[in-house]
Structure 1
Amino acid sequence: MEAAEKNVSNKKLISFRIIKKASEGDIQAINEVLKHYEGYIANLSIRKMYDEYGSVHYCVDETLRRRLETKLIKTILGFKIKR
């Protein structure tokens, strides 16, 4: 249990203030959320490509990356905070 708690405390979380501002449509806050998930989105967007010689290359599929970013923005804007 202690190891799991250490993992959570080592990760930087998005502050409530940023989440609230992003859900209200603040562009800078939305960009901060996108920046926070930038690495994760890039990792999800990696695809295996083959060149004309049959060699394998891994690269970020920009179309997929943009689609994931757009989906995240849409989700942020639809997020409702209840108290």
Structure 2
Amino acid sequence: MNEITQRKTVLIPYEIIVGASEGDIEAIRLVLDHFTGYIITLSTRILFDEFGNPHVCVDEDLRHRIEAKLVSKLLLFNAS
């Protein structure tokens, strides 16, 4: 078995999702924390310096935009 098939998916508990959709700040923070690794992966960019050397960095503006979009969709989510 390879490493990917052995990894278990950890789901966010339903109560946390309901709380986040109702505007509970702590629940929203837990959801953001859950997706932090994925958001950072999505917002990682390769930039080149003046000598053409590549540097991997996180585009903070893009990271904040993705987080804001996630929060806005959480608040629109109807969990009932």
Q: TM-score, normalised by structure 1?
A: 0.86
What are the ranges of 5 or more consecutive residues in structure 1 without an aligned counterpart?
none
Aligned partner letter, 1:15: P
Distance 1:62 1:35 in 2: 16
1:13 alignment partner in structure 2:
11
How high is the sequence identity, in percent, across the aligned residues?
49
State the Cα distance separating 1:59 from its structure 2 match: 0.7
Give the total of aligned pairs: 77
State the Cα distance separating 1:10 from its structure 2 match: 1.4
What are the ranges of 5 or more consecutive residues in structure 2 without an aligned counterpart?
none
State the Cα distance separating 1:53 from its structure 2 match: 1.0
Aligned residues of 2:20 and 2:27 also touching (Cα < 8 A): yes
Q: Which has the higher contact order (CA 8 A, sep 6+)?
A: 2
After superposition, give the CA deviation of every residue in 1:17-73 in whole Å (9 maximum; x if it has no partner).
000000000000000000000000000001110111110111100000000000000
Runs of 4+ aligned residues of structure 1 deviating over 3 Å after TM superposition are none
Q: TM-score, normalised by structure 2?
A: 0.89
1:58 alignment partner in structure 2:
56
Q: RMSD between aligned alpha carbons?
A: 1.8
2:44 alignment partner in structure 1:
46
